[in-house]
């Protein structure tokens, strides 16, 4: 897997998503193996190979893990009960007391909370948050004990794009492991391993699941990775997955495998609709700013074109002239087909105040990281585009400044 070729992957993607790994039956669709235990044929080495206990392995979960690894061009895949289970299991597998992380200045609220509170307080691992849209900031934040570079691109909720290739190059010069939360892009739009990252994390609840009906997460590793306490990272992640126990259920794995089959179609529709919404909002008198990587006005638009060759995703962040009061008024009145709800990536459109995604953070800290009170985060679904722009226009009308 050392020779990565994004184009080659793009060609096969829509075919690979439909495969039924882990299915040795005659049924076209893999059965749901809703079993906790497996009858052993040889008890002399019960944990050697094969299935023993579903926290250790399950045909639905393992099949899904293989598929995700292929889609992200990695060698190893691991599924979890949530995106946070994936993130925390990964961090605890890789890091130990005294280690240091460099992380993007703004990341998903749950990740931010774990990095700022739990890791330093409970495990003695510190994180420095820096603006990585300028890769040079990575060098200045480096310490002797830095082990990990943690990225998101596009970032949540500010939709900034970071240069995965350049950051990975610098990080590798200093022996850092590079992991990226690829949730906002999805494996269809962006394969970070092809650009130099070592590991990829997803909240599968979002675009991979895509129907707002399952919670799940995954890790994909490019290869066996560094050796930590005598074991390759790939083995440690498997061990921590089993010991920490945040595993995905067979039902969820089956459902996710079904949902992945339409990922390319859904992403194409999300991208098309989101671009149209971004263009529509861009000229709207109630809107003071629109952030969307597909707009030429986006500061990293050229980089986005390189890293996300098939489209710029379904997330649009808009700033309203009236600030936070306008945002709250807008969301309280925004009708179906939008719902005011957290999460993202489903077929139905959602909207939420950007600052409210971080209930534990101080408003001042959020403003410093670029998350303003006037921001509303939109997850654009795959509805008919005319229906979306119509209700946005109607809801924004009273907010146009006199």
> Smallest distance from the beta carbon of 304 to another protein, in angstroms?
23
With contacts defined by CB under 8 A, name the span among 46-54, 116-124, 353-361, 380-388 that binds another protein: 380-388
With contacts defined by CB under 8 A, name the span among 55-63, 325-333, 356-364, 376-384 that binds another protein: 376-384
210: left (phi over 0), alpha (psi -120 to 50) or beta: left
Interactions with another protein, residue window 186-245 (CB under 8 A)? 211-213
Distance CA 149, CA 205 (A): 24
125 is an interface residue for another protein by CB under 8 A: no
In terms of CB distance, is 130 or 265 closer to another protein? 265
11 is an interface residue for another protein by CB under 8 A: yes
Cα–chain center distance at 245? 21
**Helix (H), strand (E) at residue 78:** strand 76-80
18 is an interface residue for another protein by CB under 8 A: yes
In terms of CB distance, is 127 or 205 closer to another protein? 205
135 is an interface residue for another protein by CB under 8 A: no
Q: How many CA atoms lie within 13 A of 281 on its CB side?
A: 32
Q: Using alpha carbons only, give the angle 142, 114, 136 rounded to the nearest 5 degrees.
A: 25
Residues 6+ apart with CB under 8 A from 325: none
With contacts defined by CB under 8 A, name the span among 64-72, 78-86, 263-271, 305-313 that binds another protein: 263-271
Q: Are 92 and 120 in contact (CB under 8 A)?
A: no
Q: To 10 degrees, the CA torsion angle through 178, 315, 367, 319?
A: 160
How do strand 126-130 and strand 146-152 relate by DSSP bridges? Answer: unpaired
Residues 6+ apart with CB under 8 A from 202: 68, 83, 86, 181, 182, 183, 186, 187, 208, 217, 218, 220
> Smallest distance from the beta carbon of 29 to another protein, in angstroms?
5
By CB under 8 A, the count of residues binding another protein is: 34
In terms of CB distance, is 101 or 350 closer to another protein? 350
> Smallest distance from the beta carbon of 189 to another protein, in angstroms?
16
394 is an interface residue for another protein by CB under 8 A: no
386 is an interface residue for another protein by CB under 8 A: yes
In terms of CB distance, is 304 or 382 closer to another protein? 382
Q: Tokens in use for 192?
A: 């970070």
Distance CA 54, CA 242 (A): 10
In terms of CB distance, is 199 or 210 closer to another protein? 210
Q: Tokens in use for 182?
A: 């690829």
In terms of CB distance, is 244 or 341 closer to another protein? 341
DSSP character string of 324-356? HHHHHHHHHH--TT-EE-S---SSS-EEEESGG
Q: Tokens in use for 203?
A: 């909240």
384 is an interface residue for another protein by CB under 8 A: yes
Window 346-375: contact mask with another protein (x via CB under 8 A): xxx-x-------------------------
Interactions with another protein, residue window 26-45 (CB under 8 A)? 28-29
Q: For residue 234, give the nearest of 243, 247, 223 by alpha carbon.
A: 223
User: Which position among 128, 258, 279, 282 is part of the footprint of another protein (CB under 8 A)?
Assistant: 258
Window 330-349: contact mask with another protein (x via CB under 8 A): ------xx-x-x----xxx-
Q: How many CB atoms lie within 10 A of CB 114?
A: 21
266 is an interface residue for another protein by CB under 8 A: yes
Residues that bind another protein (CB under 8 A): 11-15, 18, 28-29, 211-213, 258, 261-262, 264-266, 268-269, 336-337, 339, 341, 346-348, 350, 381-384, 386-388
């Amino acid at each position: 897997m050392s020779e990565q070729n994004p184009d080659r992957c793009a060609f096969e993607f829509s075919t690979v998503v439909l495969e039924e790994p882990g299915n040795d039956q005659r049924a076209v669709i893999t059965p749901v193996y809703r079993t906790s235990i497996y009858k052993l044929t040889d008890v002399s080495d019960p944990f050697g190979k094969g299935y023993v206990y579903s926290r250790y392995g399950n045909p639905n979960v393992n099949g899904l893990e293989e598929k995700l690894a292929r889609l992200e061009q990695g060698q190893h895949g691991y599924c979890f009960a949530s995106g946070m289970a994936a993130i925390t299991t990964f961090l605890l597998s890789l890091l130990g007391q005294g280690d240091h992380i460099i992380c993007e200045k703004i990341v998903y609220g749950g990740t931010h909370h774990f990095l700022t509170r739990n890791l330093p307080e409970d495990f003695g691992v510190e994180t420095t948050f820096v603006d990585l849209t300028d890769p040079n900031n990575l060098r200045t934040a480096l310490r002797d004990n830095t082990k990990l570079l943690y990225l998101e691109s596009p970032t949540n909720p500010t939709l900034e794009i970071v240069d995965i290739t350049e950051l990975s190059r610098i990080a590798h010069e200093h022996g850092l492991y590079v992991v990226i939360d690829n949730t906002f892009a999805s494996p269809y739009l962006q394969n970070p391993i092809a650009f130099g990252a070592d590991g990829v994390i997803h909240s599968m609840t979002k675009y991979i699941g895509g129907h707002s009906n399952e919670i799940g997460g995954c890790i994909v590793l490019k290869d066996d990775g560094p050796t930590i306490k005598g074991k390759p990272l790939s083995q440690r992640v498997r061990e921590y997955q089993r010991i920490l126990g945040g595993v995905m259920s067979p039902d969820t794995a089956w459902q996710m495998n079904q949902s992945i089959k339409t990922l390319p179609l859904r992403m194409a529709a999300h991208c098309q609709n989101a671009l149209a919404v971004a263009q529509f909002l861009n000229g709207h008198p109630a809107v003071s700013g629109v952030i969307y990587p597909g707009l030429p006005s986006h500061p990293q638009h050229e980089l986005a074109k390189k890293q996300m060759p098939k489209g710029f995703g379904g997330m649009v962040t808009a700033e309203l002239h009236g600030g936070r009061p306008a945002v709250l008024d807008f969301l309280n009145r925004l009708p179906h087909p939008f719902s005011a709800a957290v999460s993202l990536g489903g077929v139905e459109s959602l909207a939420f105040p950007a600052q409210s995604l971080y209930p534990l953070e101080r408003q001042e800290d959020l403003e410093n990281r670029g998350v303003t009170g006037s921001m509303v985060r939109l997850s654009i679904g795959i509805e008919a585009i005319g229906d979306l722009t119509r209700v946005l226009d109607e809801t924004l009308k009273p907010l146009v400044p006199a």
